[in-house]
Structure 1
Amino acid sequence: MKVYTAIVHNDDGSAYGLTFPDLPGCFDTAKNGADIPAAATEALDLWFEDQDVIEPSPIEAIRSREDVAAELAAGAVLMPISYPAPNGHQREAE
């Protein structure tokens, strides 16, 4: 099991937006807070269909990134997302 960190954004009256700092282009939305884990797993499934497996960065390293710090200052939160070990359609990074 790997744990990837999602940045969860939410503006009043809108869906929750999810992005993954370790995985450029990996994103999804959730209608409400309860849907965030399922949306995150779906985003990871789709991203890893065509990408090599990337080792997740520790949350402390993500939190210290300037771009992430700016998003946190604007009201986003970090959420760890557990993701199963790679399956047959995923390739291990070399």
Structure 2
Amino acid sequence: MLYPLYVWKDKNSAYGASFPDLPGVFTAADELNALPAKAQEAAATMYEGETHIPEATSIEKWKDAADYADGYWMLVNIDRSRINTKPVRLNISLPENLLREIDAFAKAHQLTRSGFLAQAALKAMAR
């Protein structure tokens, strides 16, 4: 499904992007052509385990909004079938000190432990 992605770039920074239709989904990339893959990853992480993913709207709905005045728009295909909305419980063993570090990192980045581990796994598999 094609979602409007709002893109901006500040001087000496990466490209930032957000989806007005997917509140809370933000991403960034050093190269513009990397944004679609990063956007898919961000949407999958944000909506992991959710039962409802909002539908896409047209850019026309957002293009004149003041919050989106300083950037530009891209349409990005978000493959909703790659977003697993059904959580699966699993039992894993990790060293206690690693688990403490994971929890501290996740908390500092406003993630759940599961969200962080899923994001780390996706990143590792993308290499």
Band of TM-score, shorter chain: 0.7 to 0.9
Q: Which structure features the higher share of strand residues?
A: 1
Contact 2:40 / 2:79 at 8 angstroms: preserved in 1? no
Map Cα deviations across residues 31-71 of structure 1 (whole Å, 9 max, x no partner): 11121111111111112214321111111112133422xxx
Cα separation, partners in 2 of 1:31 and 1:57, compared to 1, 3 Å:
same
Q: Could you say what secondary structure the match of 1:22 adopts?
A: coil
Matches within 5 A, 1:70-89: 72=69, 74=70, 76-87=71-82, 89=84
Segments of structure 1 that go 5 or more residues without pairing to the other structure are: none
Name the CA distance, whole Å, in 2 between partners of 1:88 and 1:40. Answer: 12
Unaligned runs of 5+ in 2: 87-127
TM-score by length of 2: 0.59
Larger radius of gyration: 2
- Counting matched residue pairs gives 85
Structure 1 residue identity aligned to 2:62: I
Instruction: Report % sequence identity.
Output: 31
RMSD: 1.9
Which of the two has greater helix per residue?
2
